[in-house]
Structure 1
Amino acid sequence: MYQLKYRRSNNRIELITEYGEKKLLNDSISSKPTISPGGLKAIYLSPCEWESITKLYLFDLRNGDNIQLIGDIDGAYMPKGAIWIDNSYLALIIGFGTFSDGGNVYLYNLMDSQLIKITDWNQRKQVVKLEYNSGFLKCKGIEYLSDMMEEYIEFKEILDINLYTL
């Protein structure tokens, strides 16, 4: 099996092959990969740089396949965060362009590549962090007080994802 090691010093992912060879997984700054509950796959975002079009990738630790799951959507929206729900579903933050920190919450079904939109907020309200626990997504976010997007308040919301999954 392959292994992924995150280098905090340069925000790169090191791939360790089944033969112990080490090389960089890609040439971009990336998020720290998260391993699936079953331990056989990992997800990560790359490139994770300001004003870059970020993509979500799935890496198969068994065979080394590295697949892009989501890139930009309609040229305007892109993944900002991703966590595992189970071995079949991911919870995603898909945001507004390259300048925003967060966005709306989606579920992604790995079995059929279906993307399910959970929240439908404008740019003023954005989730920036997700945590999953027993069927519920805990969302932390910001809500801007005006269209100038200078001042904001923080908010927390809990979403029941059982309403959207099988």
Structure 2
Amino acid sequence: MANSESSGIIMYTTEAPKGAMVKRNNFITLETIDILVDKGDTLATRKFFDQFQITYYISPVSESINISPTDPKISFERNIPLEVSFKLNNDIAYNSIHIIYHSQVNKNESEIGILSKSSYQITNNTLTFKTDHFGSYQLVHLQPILTKNLIKRSKDTILKRKIKKYEIVPVNW
């Protein structure tokens, strides 16, 4: 992945989760878009998993990372290719890690999902995945282990512009 200021600056707040990193690929997108990386609200809640009728073992592995454009005029219909990495502790069992997320996929639609092991790679205690959506992402241990991704969409938007964070809002998934 190439990261350069010509494609936009990636800024981290002091609240951004330690060990989390975001890169963008400027070979795919030539637009200049500045990105803000911050700590998000936890997604590992009963309310989130109830949407998928998952009632089994759930335990957070990381804090939630919130990735958003700094310019409120940026359209969510644009695909901004990103690579997100989380540094893992040595004592973590990798086999049950899943990625949960909540993102705005276009102007009038949001999406929540649980990504299975096939959606990420782990090298040198660093979990890495690719996305083209701004939003909140969090690592969790989940039992049973999913073999496919689970995704639900809603016609409600989720980015709270005043605080520039994604929030879970009451919607009918």
Q: Which range, TM-score by smaller chain? A: 0.3 to 0.5
Structure 1 length normalisation: TM-score? 0.34
* Higher relative contact order (CA closer than 8 Å, sequence separation 6+): 2
The structure that has the greater radius of gyration is 1
Query: Which structure has more strand as a fraction of its residues?
Result: 1
Query: Which structure has more helix as a fraction of its residues?
Result: 2
Structure 2 length normalisation: TM-score? 0.33
